[in-house]
Structure 1
Amino acid sequence: MAGFFLTAYSTLALDSDAYLPDLTGPGTDEAERNVQVCEQIAADYYESHTYTEDDVYDCDNMAQDVWNMLKAKGINARIAVGNFDFEDNGRIGDGRPIGENLDSESPGEFETRDSVSGDSGLLNSGVIDSFNHAWVLAEVSPGSWLAIECTGGYVVYSDENENYYGGLTFSNPRNYRNFIDLYADWKVQSLDYENQRLYYNGLVETYNNASYFDQQAMKSGVEVAENILHEKEKVFLQTDAKLKALLEYG
Structure 2
Amino acid sequence: MRQIALEYSKRFNDPVLKIAEADVRRFEGALYPLGKRGGWAILYNPSISSPGRINFTLGHEWGHYLCHRTAAPVGFECSQSDVLGGTRKQEQEADRFASYLLMPLDDFRAQVGSERMTLDLLRHCADRYEVSLTAAALKWLESTRLCAAVVVAENGYVVWARPSAAARRARIYFPNGMELPPGSLAADGDRLLSAEGVNLSSGIWWNRPTREVAIFADKYEMTISLLVFEELGVLPDGWEEEDVEDAFDRFNRFG
TM-score when normalising by structure 2: 0.27
TM-score by length of 1: 0.28
Structure with greater strand share of residues = 2
User: Which structure's relative contact order is higher, taking Cα pairs within 8 Å and 6+ residues apart?
Assistant: 1
Larger Rg: 1
More helix by share: 1
